[in-house]
Structure 1
Amino acid sequence: MYELKTKENDKNVIEFIEQVDSPKKREDAYRLLDIFTETTGYEAKMWGQSIIGFGRYHYKYPTGHEGDAPLVGFSPRKAKISLYFATGDSKREELLEKFGKHTSGKACVYINKMADIDIEILKQLITQSVDFLTNLYPEKS
Structure 2
Amino acid sequence: MAEPKTKPTDVAPQDFLAAVEPARRRDEGLVLADIFREVTGAEPVMWGPTIVGYGEYRYISPANPRTRGHWPKTGFSPRKSKLSLYGLKDLPRGAALLPALGKYTEGAGCVYVTKLADIDLQVLRELIAIAFSRGDDPEPA
Q: How does 1:109-128 map to 2 (within 5 A)?
A: 109-128=111-130
Find the counterpart in structure 1 of residue 99 from structure 2.
Answer: 97
- Contact 2:39/2:128 (CA < 8 Å) preserved in 1? yes
Q: How does 1:1-141 map to 2 (within 5 A)?
A: 1-61=1-61, 63-85=65-87, 87-131=89-133, 133-134=134-135, 136-137=136-137
The 1:112–1:11 alpha-carbon spacing in structure 2 relative to 1, beyond 3 Å, is same
Q: CA deviation at 1:86?
A: 5.0
Mean CA deviation greater in 80-89 or 114-123: 80-89
Letter in 2 for 1:57: Y
Mean CA deviation greater in 62-71 or 32-41: 62-71
- Cα distance between partner residues in 1 of 2:79 and 2:20: 8
State the identity %: 40
TM-score by length of 2: 0.89
Matched residue pairs, number?
136
- Cα distance between partner residues in 2 of 1:35 and 1:87: 18
- Cα distance between partner residues in 2 of 1:63 and 1:14: 35
SS in 2 for 1:9: coil
Mean CA deviation greater in 92-101 or 114-123: 92-101
- Contact 1:99/1:121 (CA < 8 Å) preserved in 2? yes
- Cα distance between partner residues in 2 of 1:2 and 1:86: 26
- Cα distance between partner residues in 2 of 1:32 and 1:106: 21
